[in-house]
Every structure is written in C-alpha cells, then in structure tokens.
Structure 1
Amino acid sequence: MNVVVEAEEQDWAALVRRVDRDKDKAAFAALFRHFAPRVKAFLMKSGAGEALAEECTQEVMATLWQKAHMFDPSRASVSTWIYTIARNRKIDALRRQRRPEPEDLPWGPEAEPDQAEVMTLQQESEKLAKAMKKLPEKQRKLIEKAYFGDLSHSEIAAETGLPLGTIKSRIRLALERLRHAMG
C-alpha cells in the first residue's frame, strides 16, 4: 500500500512541478479535479459553511496555480501543502468576518480615558516588559513574532525553519511563564 501511495504522491508532485515550470493547464486541471472537492469537504467538516468552504477552496486552488514554485517536496507532501493552505485560508476568512466594517466603527473623538485605567495599563505594560525580558531568548523571539509581529505559527515556521511543534511548544511555555509573572 505504501508503494501505491508513494507513487501517487510522486504523480501529484510532478503535476505541481509542471504547473510551476510550464503553467501547464492540464496538470492544474488534474490537481483541481482531485483536490478541490476534497478541500471543500475538509473545510466543511472543520466547521465552515458551504459558501465559505467554496470561496476558500477557490482561493486555495488559485494559490496552487500562482505559488506552485513554493511547493517543496522535501518539507511536505502535495496534499499536506494544499490542506495547510486551506486551513490558513479558512482562518483568514473567519478573521475577516469578525472584523467590523468601517461603517460599523464609531466615528468622532474618543472619550478621555479614566486616569486610574491609564495608570493601571501603564503598570501592566511595564510588568509585561519586565516579564518578557526574563524569558529565554528563543521563547521571547517567538512571542514577539507571534504577538507583536502578528505572524501565524505557520508563518513563523516558514521564516525560522523551526518545526511547527517546536514553535507551538516554546510559545506555550513562554505564555505560561508570562501568566505566572503577571500573577
């Protein structure tokens, strides 16, 4: 069975290479026929509605066409690469849905903040800065990328070359230390 799966995976990788090198429409069509319905089903099983799943699937397949050059068979299989793109597109779409539209935002001058709140926030910020300095450098850098650089764990993995599990573990440990320090 492994030989069959391996041979099948090699075929998908070859098709992605043809899309990358030659913008081969037939290779893309074969990838689309195979993966599009599976990606849509995956997204729907993970809680996306049909419309969102359809939209994300289209974006995933467009990404495959535009960024086939980014596929690295030494890092992941074609299916893993495609499903990771799908997962990230779904997360991005859900984030966009939760953001208020500009017309929903209140306009005009903001109320002056309460001085006690300002002092409390300033003290909390100083406390957080001290706690961050006490973190091991590897954990601190990942926290900064994730929370101050607004990068996803996958984006951090791509940037640093670290395994995703390592990144998640270091961030989790750092957050535990920060919670403890913040009391």
Structure 2
Amino acid sequence: MRRVRDAQDRAAFAALFDHFAPRVKAFLIKSGAEPSVAEDCAQDVMVTVWRKAHLFDPTRASVATWIFTIARNRRIDLLRRDRRPEPEDLTWGPEPEPDQEDILELQQATDRLSAAMATLPEKQKALIEQAYFGDLSHREIADLTGIPLGTIKSRIRLALDRLRHAMG
C-alpha cells in the first residue's frame, strides 16, 4: 500500500487488487448485495483505493481496515440510493383544490411546528432553518458557519428529535 501511495506503483496495486477485491466482494455479498452489484461495488472500491491512496495513513488504520471502511461506506451509499422512491407519474392539468378540512389540518400542523421551533435552542433552530428551509446540505452549513460537520449533524439530530416529540 505504501508503494501505491508513495509511487503510484501499478504492480503493487495489482497485488493489492488480487488480494482484496475478492474479499471485498465476499464481504458485500454477505452484507446482502447481489453478486453482480457486489462485483461492481468491489471494482469501485478498488478504484477508490487507487485514487485516494495518498490519503492512506498507516498510523490510523491497517490497509485492510482502510479498504473495508471504504467498502462499507460504498455499501451504505448503494443502500441509500436503492431506498429512494421512484418519481410518481405526473398527472396533467391543474391540481384539484384541497378540501377545507385538509387546509385546516395543514394550518394547525404549521402552527404546531412554529410553536415547536420556538422552543428550540437558538443554535439548533438556526441549523434546522438552514438545512430545511434554506435547503443547504450539512457540509454547506459547516462550510458557511465554520462549525465542524459532526457538530452540525449532532445539533440537527437533537433538534429533529425535540421537534418530533413536540409535534406528537
């Protein structure tokens, strides 16, 4: 791995690939991936190992740990992508007018959300507003505010939990 990292040694990478690609594929299959998906994902993991070799730090993790962490993260990405719903077929023409009952329920829910938002600590409230009303990603909020990404995620998670409880 050090030869790959330091000198982009193709022969060293070939040896790494021969050793780890089948193991990554087996790991992905055991975690529930179809064999063809596991094969593609393992290839992608090994490409990432080549492209990101400069980031490998033997003081932080072993080669196997580093590669299998990449594989685990790639598997999580695939699961998230697979869980996304397909867009519904769009109907043509104007949408029907909502019922008065639906309008009242929506207004009441909006009022409850406003009241719940008002109870949040200011730091959490600001992050929720940026993430959900400002449509910013967690990374964009971190870059904008200078707050570490992990702190952003923790505060948003705590705020959402408080809102969930407040909304019933």
Fold shared by both chains (TM-score > 0.5): yes
Partners of 2:27 and 2:120 in 1: CA distance:
38
The CA deviation at 1:76 is: 3.9
TM-score, normalization by structure 1: 0.61
The CA deviation at 1:179 is: 2.0
Residue 108 of structure 1 is matched in structure 2 by 92
Residues 15 and 128 (structure 1), Cα distance of their counterparts in 2 relative to 1, 3 Å cut: farther
Partners of 1:108 and 1:76 in 2: CA distance:
55
TM-score, normalization by structure 2: 0.66
8 A Cα contact 1:64 1:82, kept in partner: yes
8 A Cα contact 2:21 2:46, kept in partner: yes
Residue 17 of structure 1 is matched in structure 2 by 5
The CA deviation at 1:72 is: 4.1
Residue 82 of structure 1 is matched in structure 2 by 67
Q: Which runs of 5+ in 1 are unaligned?
A: 1-11, 153-158
Identity within the alignment, %: 59
8 A Cα contact 1:15 1:31, kept in partner: no
Residue 182 of structure 1 is matched in structure 2 by 167
Question: Partner of 1:108: helix, strand, or coil?
Answer: coil
Which of 74, 77, 81 in structure 2 is aligned with 1:92? 77
Q: In the alignment, is residue 67 of structure 1 matched against residue 55 of structure 2? A: no
Residues 161 and 92 (structure 1), Cα distance of their counterparts in 2 relative to 1, 3 Å cut: closer
Deviations 1:72-108 (A, max 9, x none): 4455443333223222222322333344667x63353
Q: Which runs of 5+ in 2 are unaligned?
A: 140-146
CA RMSD, aligned part only? 3.9
The CA deviation at 1:29 is: 1.3
Q: How does 1:27-176 map to 2 (within 5 A)?
A: 27-99=12-84, 105-109=89-93, 111-112=95-96, 114-115=98-99, 116-132=101-117, 134-136=119-121, 149=136, 160=148, 162=150, 173-176=158-161
Residues 71 and 33 (structure 1), Cα distance of their counterparts in 2 relative to 1, 3 Å cut: same
Aligned length: 160
Partners of 1:136 and 1:23 in 2: CA distance:
50
Residues 86 and 173 (structure 1), Cα distance of their counterparts in 2 relative to 1, 3 Å cut: same
The CA deviation at 1:50 is: 0.8
Residues 23 and 112 (structure 1), Cα distance of their counterparts in 2 relative to 1, 3 Å cut: farther
